[in-house]
Structure 1
Amino acid sequence: MKKIPLFQRHADQSWPAWKTALFWVWNLFWGLCATLGVGLVSLIFAAVIDQKAMLLSYFQNPLIAFLNLAPVVLLYFLLYFILGRASLAYALTAAITLGFTMGSWFKLQFRNDPLMFEDLLLLKEAGNMAGKYQLFLTKTMILALVLLILGWLFLHFCVRGRPGARLLLLGFAAAVLCALPVWNMTQSDDIYNNRTANNGLINQWSATQVYVSKGFVYPFLHSVKSASDAPPEGYDAGRAETILSGYEDADIPEDKKVSVISIMLESYDDFSKYGTPTLDPKVYADYHALEEESLTGDLITNIFAGGTVDSERCFLTGFADLGSFRSATNSYPWYFRSQGYTVTGSHPCYAWFYNRENINVNLGFQDYRFVENYFSPMTDGGVGYDDLFFPELIKLWEQDKALGQPVFQYNLTYQGHGPYNDDQTWWGDDYVVNDKGYTQAELNILNNYFGSVYNTNQNLKAFFDYFREEEEPVVIVVFGDHNPWLGDGNSVYEAIGLDLDFSTPEGFYNYYSTRYLIWANDAAKAVLGNDFVGEGPTVSPTFLMDVVFDACGWTGPAYMQATRPVMEQVPVMNTPTGLYMEDGAVTGTLTPEGQALVTDFDMLQYYYRKNFIYDGLR
């Protein structure tokens, strides 16, 4: 039987031009169709939230569909014009695309965490994860596999065209030229954050859900950008290792081990320090009473009205430049574990927020309570507020204490999270006196914020009162993560006359500062020989744990010891502005001594972040 020309391996030179063109149209068209099928299968498995609606949403925003499908198609043609065989190029394209897609699908099922490019660089972590979970096949997976095999059979027997050397070169060059602008589009932050925003079916504050809302291939390629954790300029790993090797983790003496309960308050600041007019003194009365019996100070954060996780992770790690924390990373929770502490915490919000459910494990927490695994029965699946949260913290303390070891807890409130309603008040109307001409909307925002703060302070008082009677020695650390949102464009800040121009020292403090207090019960004061009263240093969250350790009389881990000279000389490093505090003044230009310390600090934190030392505790 005479072969059908379309199914031949090579175009016959005796063919007329139209037949040669038809031959290559046949080969390229079916290769394109088969590969689009691979891309579509990837999108089906990417849509793990409200699958049908999410899959449809990918095509309702054509740019999302294009940025998921185009890379798959281009990968096929790059391979085709290298290998010269459609079926082989298709098999490799399908294996790569769907192998990664299914890896992400399983990660989402097991850990609510998608596959990122950085994960490919963490083979040990991947092996550990794979060993903990049982993979399985679904009917959809089996159907997809059957369809892919059928696609391969069709290409193998019916799409057999093999380009000659000249066509291979031209085709490959054309595929590369097409791939370059597509690659640039996948790396664009503007396209990722704005033009492909697809928030109708998700919570935009969940990084995992945002990832899912964009498919798989596209967000995976975009994650290449974040995987490049470049070292600081002039990085010298040898110097960093030499500095750090001059110290050893110092054990906390057995007779000095006290429990540490840290609480970060959402959007909390003491506005009375600004002389805020018309503010009722009762709002902060309980907090000021606690300050009178505590070590207190100003905390200069890196954030304003959002970005809670920055203050959180600076405090927990001692880093100023935060990495992705997608693998186990040295931190103070790990150090406390090495000292025999029970290391836990709680947040009455969702585990996916800032991917804490995965990252907190990598930071050394043995257990962390969220809505999903603890608070849900008490909140009907919603977030929890302080009237619930603080009494539960006492119960959780009792549970952790019962394990017979000292305890380190890091807890984070949700109450205080903005924005605050400008149409009606939630807490009453008597926290701010309107003798300054506030609009009703401004007054509502102020009453909603300060009403929340007043309630938080009442809960803090009750919480501390409980620990006054606690026989176990306990130190409590309380601090605010950042200043609150107060109206679009900071309109309410303007109404109360608060300068937020951070090009001036006053505006800088107003914009970035919150407060911290470190309190000890009588049992802890007796054990540690410190009264924990007075004014502490002004520091960044990066150095707040240093202040805690100094108050407790602990030497601390090697990293803390190595970086303590930096805290003593440059206690504030504000990463957004590039401003520092040295000799008590805000400055953008450090002394040569201060600059040398900061340069070493940059190297040390990068080295310490990249070289995990607590493997024996995992």
Structure 2
Amino acid sequence: MKQIFLFQKQPDPRWTPARKALFWAWNGGIFLCSLLGIGLLSLVFAAVIDQKAMLLSYFQNPLIAFLNLAPVVLLGLLLYFLLGRAGAAYLITAGIALGLTIASWFKLQFRNDPLMFEDLLLIKEAGNMTGRYQLFLTKTMVLALVLLAAGWLALHFCARGRLSLRPRFLGLSLTVLLCLPVWDMTQDSYTYDALTANNGLINQWSATQVYVSKGFVYPFLHSVSSAQDDPPPGYDEDEAAALLSTWEGQDIPEDKKVSVISIMLESFDDFTKYGTPTLDPKVYEAYHALEAESITGDLITNIFAGGTVDSERCFLTGFSELGSFRSPSNSYPWYFRSQGYTVTGAHPCYAWFYNRENINVNLGFQDYRFVENYFSPLTDGGVGYDDMFFSELIKLWEADKALGKPVFQYNLTYQGHGPYEDDKTWWGDGYVVDDRDYTQAELNILNNYFGSVYDTSQDLAAFFDYFREEEEPVVIVVFGDHNPWLGDSNSVYEAIGLDLDFSTPEGFYNYYSTRYLIWANDAAKAALGRDFTGEGPTVSPNFLMNVVFDACGWEGPAYMQAAGEVMDQVPVINTPTGLYVEDGALTGALSPKGQSLVEKYDMLQYYWRKEFAYADADAVPAA
């Protein structure tokens, strides 16, 4: 026994606790620095707007830097404690973090659209994208590969310590605990919208630029929350499919295929219905003349003074709950395409606004004209106003008509977009003739808004006059997206005495309602056998296309028919408040019949958001 003991390995007397601590501090320091290097490289590729200034801005807001670097470090530590090898953990971390970052960089170059978590779920669409674009290697990418190789070599030769199972288990447990609060921070909406606001180098209305302003790792992780499109309570896919199958989709009869031009007017509402302020009659004279020869009604939107895209996409899809539309999604433009229509539109603003350049493709538009691809020569690269826009819409109509098919257009104005200056007027004075005591700032805001309304009405009337003489049958749909901004904290609304307390029926309707009209030229009236006059129902935007189809005498797709049954009982679904209109009354508690219909509608629209049905309408563009 004594002999055996003599041959046992003896502890190295040089391996003192101090030297041991120094050894692991050296190993840990190199590993942490290498992980931070991966995070920093990710930020370099994330800063695609004014790169140097943007990269610096990430560190001027320490929370942005932390939420980009901490997840990379924590991922590396998790892998290290799982695998026990620093080099392997480093390479896998680099592959994941930088692989996704570079994928987002290419996506931004090709489509001005960053990589979102939802994109990882769209494997087919990702394959389509890589097949359409030629990838390339930049000098920065080459340098990044060299730096990554240097980091691995440093770990391989200078950080060779390996932990035993027990400290690895303890380290893994501690790292998991650290991941939980960091994950919660990445998912928190207030942190994303307010605490990490970084708008100095971007336009805050561009979702893409807001994403870039926060790096890559952090906004990518935050996008996990937006990828969660939870089904309604009690949802059953087979039941939803069976329910939808009880309606049979109908084609538009060949002799009834009239063109439809829809125009959403930015911040446009008819304030004469409120009785205040007192306005010069000329402000709405032209618009009222158009209403007199149209089907008209109130549109109860979900938004106020902003959020245009909600009214837009509710109208185009028939959904009251909107998805992300990051892949081809069922919509009425797709239905029109399936019926042989040319489907286009125009907006004299930038393509990145609300990411329309990508989402409009997924909603079925074959072509969409923005500043970048159409209006720039007419606007010197800026946004366009209505005198130019409506004239160009006529030219675009003629171009679309020349293709020899009926046309569906969805167009959106920019004029009317707030805020309105309070120190000068753009359209002259005198639109407001109220004798109450407004401050000059309040009066300027009012004259700027109503001066814009007057100008839009004149351009709109001239546009309609053109189509009175048009031989092709055309139906025109016009509606306002939301009420305008009138002073911070709605100060000018308060000055004119308009109740915006939406806890009361009067305040609710004042807050959320705009107007719509549906007009047809003589050729369309003759083709459809309808006169297109009278009062239409009060509806929310998701049902407005139903009103258009009803006016034309079309039955439409199965989903529209199902939604129409709901509209007949519950024509208004207001998502922000959870309020409805049933039997003409505003309510938060539906009748048993109304509740049953809305629950079925929620199930159907969720199913219809998920099951794309128009792949054979014509070639579906790669997402």
Structure 2 distance, partners of 1:336, 1:14, is 81
Structure 2 distance, partners of 1:354, 1:163, is 50
- 1:292 correspondence with 2:327: no
Instruction: Please state how far the C-alpha of 1:255 moved relative to its aligned partner.
Output: 0.4
- 1:579 correspondence with 2:571: no
Q: 1:455-495 deviations in whole A, cap 9, x for unaligned?
A: 00000000000000000000000000000011111111111
- 1:378 correspondence with 2:378: yes
1:470-485 alignment runs, 5 A limit: 470-485=470-485
CA 13–546 in structure 1, closer or farther in 2 if over 3 Å, else same: farther
Q: Which amino acid aligns with 1:392?
A: E
Give secondary structure in 1 for the equivalent of 2:573. strand
Structure 2 distance, partners of 1:130, 1:598, is 41
Instruction: Please state how far the C-alpha of 1:430 moved relative to its aligned partner.
Output: 1.2
Q: 1:233-274 deviations in whole A, cap 9, x for unaligned?
A: 121222211111122321101100000000000000000111
Report the equivalent of 2:611: 611
Give secondary structure in 1 for the equivalent of 2:478. strand
Report the equivalent of 1:500: 500
Give secondary structure in 1 for the equivalent of 2:200. coil
Report the equivalent of 2:211: 211
Report the equivalent of 1:366: 366
Give secondary structure in 1 for the equivalent of 2:232. coil
Report the equivalent of 1:549: 549
CA contact (8 A) 1:86 1:155 kept: yes
Report the equivalent of 1:107: 107
Instruction: Please state how far the C-alpha of 1:14 moved relative to its aligned partner.
Output: 7.4
365-374 or 270-279: bigger deviation: 270-279
Instruction: Please state how far the C-alpha of 1:174 moved relative to its aligned partner.
Output: 1.6
CA contact (8 A) 2:540 2:573 kept: yes
Q: 1:367-422 deviations in whole A, cap 9, x for unaligned?
A: 00000000011101100000110000000000000000000000000000001111
Structure 1 distance, partners of 2:180, 2:547, is 50
CA contact (8 A) 2:540 2:571 kept: yes
1:314-329 alignment runs, 5 A limit: 314-329=314-329
1:135-146 alignment runs, 5 A limit: 135-146=135-146
Structure 2 distance, partners of 1:542, 1:185, is 34
Give secondary structure in 2 for the equivalent of 1:71. helix
Structure 1 distance, partners of 2:429, 2:267, is 20
1:253-272 alignment runs, 5 A limit: 253-272=253-272
556-565 or 469-478: bigger deviation: 556-565
Instruction: Please state how far the C-alpha of 1:157 moved relative to its aligned partner.
Output: 2.2
Structure 2 distance, partners of 1:495, 1:48, is 45
Instruction: Please state how far the C-alpha of 1:572 moved relative to its aligned partner.
Output: 0.3
Report the equivalent of 2:343: 343
Q: Which amino acid aligns with 1:304?
A: F
Q: Which amino acid aligns with 2:249?
A: D
Report the equivalent of 2:34: 34
Report the equivalent of 1:3: none
Give secondary structure in 2 for the equivalent of 1:131. helix
Instruction: Please state how far the C-alpha of 1:190 moved relative to its aligned partner.
Output: 1.4
- 1:447 correspondence with 2:447: yes
Structure 2 distance, partners of 1:252, 1:464, is 24
1:162-173 alignment runs, 5 A limit: 162-173=162-173
Report the equivalent of 2:510: 510
Structure 2 distance, partners of 1:257, 1:508, is 38
1:79-478 alignment runs, 5 A limit: 79-478=79-478
Give secondary structure in 1 for the equivalent of 2:285. helix
Structure 2 distance, partners of 1:217, 1:111, is 19
TM-score (norm 1): 0.97
Q: Which amino acid aligns with 2:248?
A: E
Instruction: Please state how far the C-alpha of 1:496 moved relative to its aligned partner.
Output: 1.2
Report the equivalent of 1:538: 538
Give secondary structure in 1 for the equivalent of 2:586. strand
Q: 1:412-457 deviations in whole A, cap 9, x for unaligned?
A: 0000000111111000001012411111111101100000000000
Structure 1 distance, partners of 2:492, 2:612, is 45
Structure 2 distance, partners of 1:321, 1:136, is 39
423-432 or 490-499: bigger deviation: 490-499
Structure 2 distance, partners of 1:185, 1:502, is 33
Instruction: Please state how far the C-alpha of 1:278 moved relative to its aligned partner.
Output: 2.2
Structure 1 distance, partners of 2:495, 2:61, is 41
Instruction: Please state how far the C-alpha of 1:513 moved relative to its aligned partner.
Output: 0.5
Instruction: Please state how far the C-alpha of 1:277 moved relative to its aligned partner.
Output: 3.4
Give secondary structure in 1 for the equivalent of 2:132. coil
182-191 or 420-429: bigger deviation: 182-191
- 1:54 correspondence with 2:46: no
Structure 2 distance, partners of 1:181, 1:387, is 53
Please give the root-mean-square deviation of Cα atoms over the aligned residues, in Å. Answer: 1.0
Q: 1:185-207 deviations in whole A, cap 9, x for unaligned?
A: 11111111111111110001111
Structure 1 distance, partners of 2:79, 2:261, is 57
Report the equivalent of 2:3: none
Q: Which amino acid aligns with 1:289?
A: A
Report the equivalent of 1:593: 593
Q: 1:143-195 deviations in whole A, cap 9, x for unaligned?
A: 11111012112212221111101111111112112211111111111111111
Report the equivalent of 1:4: none
CA 349–580 in structure 1, closer or farther in 2 if over 3 Å, else same: same
CA contact (8 A) 2:427 2:451 kept: yes
CA contact (8 A) 1:35 1:76 kept: yes
Give secondary structure in 2 for the equivalent of 1:517. strand
Structure 1 distance, partners of 2:564, 2:415, is 33
Give secondary structure in 2 for the equivalent of 1:421. coil
Structure 1 distance, partners of 2:595, 2:191, is 37
Q: Which amino acid aligns with 2:140?
A: T
Structure 2 distance, partners of 1:324, 1:331, is 13
CA contact (8 A) 2:277 2:434 kept: no
Give secondary structure in 1 for the equivalent of 2:155. helix
Q: Which amino acid aligns with 1:557?
A: P
Q: 1:77-128 deviations in whole A, cap 9, x for unaligned?
A: 1100000001000000000000000010000000000001111111111111
142-151 or 522-531: bigger deviation: 142-151
TM-score (norm 2): 0.97
CA contact (8 A) 1:434 1:443 kept: no
Q: Which amino acid aligns with 1:129?
A: M
Give secondary structure in 1 for the equivalent of 2:102. helix
152-161 or 541-550: bigger deviation: 152-161
CA contact (8 A) 2:249 2:558 kept: yes
CA contact (8 A) 1:348 1:371 kept: yes
547-556 or 185-194: bigger deviation: 185-194
The number of residues matched between the two structures is 608
Q: Which amino acid aligns with 1:531?
A: D
Q: Which amino acid aligns with 1:391?
A: S
Q: Which amino acid aligns with 2:177?
A: L
Structure 1 distance, partners of 2:404, 2:242, is 38
